[in-house]
Amino acid sequence: MPKLSFTVPHSHDPAIAVEMVQPALEKTIKDFEGRDAEINWSGNEADYKFKSLAFTITGHMAVSDNEVQIDIDLPFAALMFKDKVGKAITKNLGRALQSDPSS
């Protein structure tokens, strides 16, 4: 299964950044009509899995001091969607991380 990797910079405390990206990850899954989603957070890292169309998509997200690293295992048959997936996840996480966490 090919792995796609994306990095989104941030300027927040990692714990705050985790709180900010959690709903963005959920939104991205919903945007791709994901179902049976499982997201398991452990500290600043999450493993996730969901089904979209006929595909099972898995991945890992890690929040560090200044960036969020997103890895997505995309089935070969879904590679035609890699650009769309990349744009959606970086857009949703980027927007979430640009917002003011105190509002």
Q: Where are the domains of the chain?
A: 3-98
Which secondary-structure segment (H or E) carries 46?
Answer: strand 45-52
Tokens of 41: 């957070």
What residue ranges of the chain have pLDDT lower than 70?
101-103
pLDDT of residue 102: 63
Contact 62, 56 (CB under 8 A): no
Radius of gyration of the chain (CA): 13
pLDDT of residue 97: 94
pLDDT of residue 101: 66
What's the predicted TM-score (pTM) here? 0.86
CA distance 9 to 21: 12
CA distance 71 to 68: 10
First to last CA, the chain: 40
The CATH superfamily holding the domain 3-98 is: Kinase associated domain 1, KA1 (3.30.310.80)
Contact 97, 21 (CB under 8 A): yes
